[in-house]
């Protein structure tokens, strides 16, 4: 079988076995195979890739491999200006919306708490997740690499950490969301945008001690929940503060050894 030489850059190395990380290595391919197939066979979901070079020229996922090609695979760039080079995914999603797989319920609540449009439900299978991601232009967040390798999924992200705090930091860093955080705007239970409601209107609907303590309230017109800036709010602010003061550390931690 013919061979190509391939190198993965930056955090894409996370998906590779140790001996293949951060260096060029040779690998065989089936004649007629595309570069997308090759990188996914090596364990890297195509949704993680933003730029592909074959022998120094940028190519798309459908590029057919040739004997002795030198392939370079880059992740989504955060701040590196790649200017005129065409990325594999030319149309970024304008408004970031997410759909989370069934194992990430706590993370879904956290994202909603920060105001991000986050679809989450427990009664949904992988096919439906992939379809909704494609049809509704929602970025699919999962820890399941197989799910991200599906053709229907064009925008997705594989969560590295198993810890909630780090997962949240990963998403904020990866999608550059720091300037887009709007806490206290979205229902944690059903994702609907909250409406302001006067203190008088919540009288009798919230516990008496809450009513005495808080003046600002919002409600969800879909599920009738009432929100105020209570202890969960303070915990969230503290978590954000901690996250941003540890941001540099978090960046270095996104490609852990396995």
The nearest distance, CB 189 to Zn ion, in angstroms, is 5
Closer to Zn ion by Cβ: residue 53 or 206: 206
Closer to Zn ion by Cβ: residue 70 or 223: 223
| CA 17 – CA 10 distance, rounded (Å) | 14
The nearest distance, CB 174 to Zn ion, in angstroms, is 27
Query: Cα-flanking dihedrals φ and ψ of residue 203, to 5°?
Result: -60, 130
The nearest distance, CB 188 to Zn ion, in angstroms, is 8
The nearest distance, CB 175 to Zn ion, in angstroms, is 24
| CA 50 – CA 227 distance, rounded (Å) | 39
Closer to Zn ion by Cβ: residue 60 or 183: 183
The nearest distance, CB 122 to Zn ion, in angstroms, is 16
Q: Which residue in this structure is represented by tokens 């090596």? A: 42
| CA 238 – CA 219 distance, rounded (Å) | 23
**Residues near Zn ion (CB under 5 A):** 187, 189-190, 192, 220, 222-223
Closer to Zn ion by Cβ: residue 225 or 251: 225
The nearest distance, CB 131 to Zn ion, in angstroms, is 24
Closer to Zn ion by Cβ: residue 22 or 189: 189
Closer to Zn ion by Cβ: residue 142 or 191: 191
User: Which residues does 92 contact at the CB level (< 8 Å), separation at least 6?
Assistant: none
Closer to Zn ion by Cβ: residue 139 or 187: 187
The nearest distance, CB 120 to Zn ion, in angstroms, is 12
């Amino acid at each position: 079988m013919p061979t190509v030489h391939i190198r993965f850059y930056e955090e894409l190395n996370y998906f590779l076995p140790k001996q293949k990380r951060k260096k060029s290595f040779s690998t065989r391919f089936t004649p007629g195979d595309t570069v997308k197939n090759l990188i996914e066979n090596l364990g890297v979901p195509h949704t993680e890739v933003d730029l592909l070079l074959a022998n120094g020229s940028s190519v798309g996922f459908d590029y057919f491999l040739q004997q002795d090609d030198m392939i370079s695979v880059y992740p989504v760039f955060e701040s590196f200006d790649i200017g005129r080079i065409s990325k594999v995914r030319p149309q970024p999603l304008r408004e970031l919306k997410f759909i989370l797989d069934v194992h990430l319920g706590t993370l879904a609540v956290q994202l909603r708490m920060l105001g991000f449009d986050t679809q989450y439900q427990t009664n949904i299978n992988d096919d439906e997740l992939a379809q909704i991601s494609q049809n509704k232009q929602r970025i699919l967040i999962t820890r399941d690499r197989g799910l991200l390798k599906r053709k229907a999924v064009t925008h997705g992200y594989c969560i590295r950490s198993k810890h909630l705090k780090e997962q949240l930091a990963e998403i904020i860093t990866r999608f550059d969301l720091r300037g887009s955080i709007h806490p206290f705007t979205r229902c944690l239970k059903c994702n609907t945008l909250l409406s302001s409601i006067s203190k008088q209107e919540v009288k009798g609907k919230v516990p008496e001690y809450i009513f005495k303590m808080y003046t600002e309230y919002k409600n969800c017109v879909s599920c009738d929940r009432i929100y105020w800036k209570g202890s969960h709010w303070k915990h969230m602010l503290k978590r954000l503060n901690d996250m941003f003061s540890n941001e540099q550390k978090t960046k270095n931690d996104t490609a852990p050894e396995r």
